[in-house]
């Protein structure tokens, strides 16, 4: 049933917010870079610089290394547990070690990558200006966009390659975190749901909703109480969905 529901995720800390933002940007960057059209490759360049912008603050490398080590420390004690699939556990521990080794070899912060390439540096300086990359502003970019598709894809893949250790580490961390979800089918009454957390902490909150209901969740939480409120989707025109008297949805609490 979960596969037919629309998932919303709400991180509880800024570090995880950054990981989720980067995961979304990496996914978009990869998709646009694999296309053939010059406009898709222009979009890939935009996503590349958005990744640079997101990583301007903080130290993502050390944050990821810390999380990979923490996850490994949480899982290693399960090696002697007869109720745990030891083959799957070993595979996961090996992945954590491999991702950590890959990331440890990275010598340049994400936000500094474009400064090492004169072309990217030039395009990046103009990308923050609305319509700032027109052909008369950055002729070399205009030329690049008219290269054969395979040649543009080659350049994009080369620029993306240094990002892969970050992307791979984030994907593994998020997959493991999502795998800890405690899922419960619950109901919102007149668009409102509350849960007594009894001091229980979570790192990531998941809300699964039937997209046909056109309901949008809003979350507020502290260490004692979790509150989910739903409102009808408003796209600026057309009718707004009426909030059901009783609305079923699925709630997931993730924590490692």
Predicted local confidence at residue 86, as pLDDT: 87
Q: Please give the model's pTM, rounded to 2 decimal places.
A: 0.91
- Whether 110 is covered by a domain: the verdict is yes
We report the CATH number of the domain holding residue 214 as 2.60.440.10
Q: Are 92 and 207 in a shared domain?
A: no
Q: What is the domain extent for residue 211?
A: 181-254
Q: What total number of domains does the chain contain?
A: 2
Nearest to 230 by CA among 202, 252, 207, 253: 207
Nearest to 201 by CA among 250, 253, 249, 123: 253
Predicted local confidence at residue 3, as pLDDT: 67
Name the domain boundary from 175, 204, 225: 175
Predicted local confidence at residue 256, as pLDDT: 81
Name the domain boundary from 153, 175, 197: 175
pLDDT per 10-residue tile (average), the chain, 256 residues: 84 94 97 97 96 88 94 89 86 95 87 86 91 93 97 96 95 96 96 89 94 94 90 86 93 92
Instruction: Tell me the helix, strand and coil percentages in the chain, rounded to 5.
Output: 55, 20, 25
Name the domain boundary from 110, 143, 175: 175
Predicted local confidence at residue 56, as pLDDT: 86
Nearest to 133 by CA among 244, 72, 48, 226: 48
Q: Are 136 and 56 in a shared domain?
A: yes
């Amino acid at each position: 049933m979960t596969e037919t529901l629309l998932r919303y995720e709400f991180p509880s800390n800024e570090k995880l917010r950054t990981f989720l933002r980067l995961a979304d940007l990496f996914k978009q960057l990869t998709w646009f870079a694999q296309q053939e059209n010059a406009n898709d490759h222009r979009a890939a360049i935009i996503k590349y610089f958005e990744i640079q912008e997101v990583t301007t603050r903080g130290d993502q490398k050390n944050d990821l290394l810390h999380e990979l080590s923490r996850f490994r420390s949480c899982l290693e004690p399960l090696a002697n547990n007869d109720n745990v699939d030891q083959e799957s556990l070993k595979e996961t521990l090996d992945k954590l070690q491999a991702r950590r080794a890959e990331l440890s070899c990275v010598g340049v912060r994400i936000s500094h990558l474009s400064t090492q390439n004169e072309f990217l540096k030039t395009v990046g300086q103009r990308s923050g200006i609305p319509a700032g990359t027109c052909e008369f502003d950055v002729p070399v970019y205009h030329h690049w966009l008219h290269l054969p598709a395979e040649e543009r894809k080659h350049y994009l893949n080369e620029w993306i390659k240094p990002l892969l250790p970050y992307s791979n580490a984030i994907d593994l961390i998020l997959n493991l975190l999502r795998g800890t979800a405690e899922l419960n089918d619950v109901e919102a009454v007149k668009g409102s749901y509350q849960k007594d957390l009894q001091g229980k902490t979570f790192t990531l909150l998941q809300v699964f909703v039937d997209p046909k209901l056109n309901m949008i969740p809003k979350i507020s939480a502290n260490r004692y109480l979790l509150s989910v409120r739903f409102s009808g989707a408003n796209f600026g025109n057309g009718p707004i969905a009426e909030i059901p008297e009783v609305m079923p949805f699925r709630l997931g609490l993730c924590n490692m």
